[in-house]
Structure 1
Amino acid sequence: MALFIDTFVNKIDRKGRVSVPAPFRAALSGQAFHGIVALPSFKYKAVQCAGIDWMEGIKARLSTNSDLFSEEHDDLTMALFSSAKQLAFDGEGRVQLPEDLAKEANIGEVAAFVGRGEHFEIWEPQALERYKIEARKRALEKGRTLRSARPDGQP
């Protein structure tokens, strides 16, 4: 599974192409699809992105955690897979950011790529900075912490 960390801000060219940060591309090397999968975020004005393995993991979790013909399964598969787009890397590591995804996240001429662990997001840069400040403030105020891993390596 790929690991995405750090924040990068890149310009979008006149044709709607944007360079995916080199560390993110490196994390995706060896995947079955040479590019990213992108979909509108469920929670934020942002675009969620990852490798094809991330989407395969979501498919697997849906298969084991919901009944195939249930309303929950239908809602989630419609919301996730019908809006997802496979964006292939060009020779320079760029992807064509679809207009509908850019509009959904209010992204104009510049895009901020932010690592979120197993996936990354693309934001309008000023909106991302506001969110980062708010998230850090909430984490500090609520005393958010991580549990220590057990000696056997399990969480």
Structure 2
Amino acid sequence: MALFIDTFVNRIDKKGRVSVPATFRAALTGQNFNGIVALPGFRYDALQCAGIDWMQKLVEKMGSVDLFSDAHDDLSITLFSEAKQLAFDGEGRIVLPEGLIAHAKLVDEAAFVGRGEIFEIWQPAALEAHRAEARRRALEKGMTLKNGGGAQ
């Protein structure tokens, strides 16, 4: 499983090309597709991204939703119809399609944000506002993770 941590801000050139952070590319090594999958975020003006293996997990999870139901139809069209496979070029860049650029309100920079098994691409100022608000909510609610019992 790929693991994405840290935040990186990279420039977007006039052709929509942006370098995916080297650590993110390294986490995707060995997958069936040499690139990423990106789709518009559901809750925020950001892009949700991962390797093709993550998309395969989503397909498998769709098996738990009744085929031909409204829920299956809504989820499948939302998840897969706007998802894009974006191949790495020789320099580790991807080309962001106009629709994804518009959704995330990207102009000349993109913030790559590790979120564990996925990463997101944000407009940098929007990310900072979101991160501050998320931190405030987490602290206000006293959110913590339970200790898993330590190392074995």
Question: TM exceeds 0.5?
Answer: yes
Q: How does 1:64-143 map to 2 (within 5 A)?
A: 65-143=64-142
1:86 shift after superposition: 0.2
The reply to whether residue 57 of structure 1 matches residue 27 of structure 2 is no
> What runs of 5+ residues in structure 2 fail to find an aligned partner?
none
List, as ranges, runs of 4+ consecutive aligned residues in structure 1 with deviation greater than 2 Å. Answer: 150-153
Q: Deviations over 1:13-44 (max 9, x none)?
A: 11110000000000000000000000000010
Partner of 2:21: 21
Partner SS for 1:134: helix
Partner SS for 2:82: coil
Write the distance in 1 (CA, Å) between the matches of 2:39 and 2:130. Answer: 19
> What runs of 5+ residues in structure 1 fail to find an aligned partner?
none
TM-score normalized by the length of structure 2: 0.97
Partner SS for 2:23: helix
Q: Deviations over 1:112-150 (max 9, x none)?
A: 000000000000000000111111111011000111214
Q: Deviations over 1:39-66 (max 9, x none)?
A: 0000100000000000000111111x21
TM-score normalized by the length of structure 1: 0.95
Write the distance in 2 (CA, Å) between the matches of 1:141 and 1:152. Answer: 30
Write the distance in 2 (CA, Å) between the matches of 1:96 and 1:152. Answer: 42
Write the distance in 2 (CA, Å) between the matches of 1:19 and 1:95. Answer: 6
What is the aligned-residue identity percentage?
A: 65
Write the distance in 2 (CA, Å) between the matches of 1:144 and 1:79. Answer: 30
Write the distance in 1 (CA, Å) between the matches of 2:68 and 2:130. Answer: 37
Q: How does 1:22-41 map to 2 (within 5 A)?
A: 22-41=22-41
Write the distance in 2 (CA, Å) between the matches of 1:102 and 1:73. Answer: 27
1:152 shift after superposition: 9.6
Q: Deviations over 1:96-117 (max 9, x none)?
A: 0111101111100100000000
Tell me the C-alpha RMSD between the 2 structures: 1.3
Change (3 A) 1:152 1:112: closer
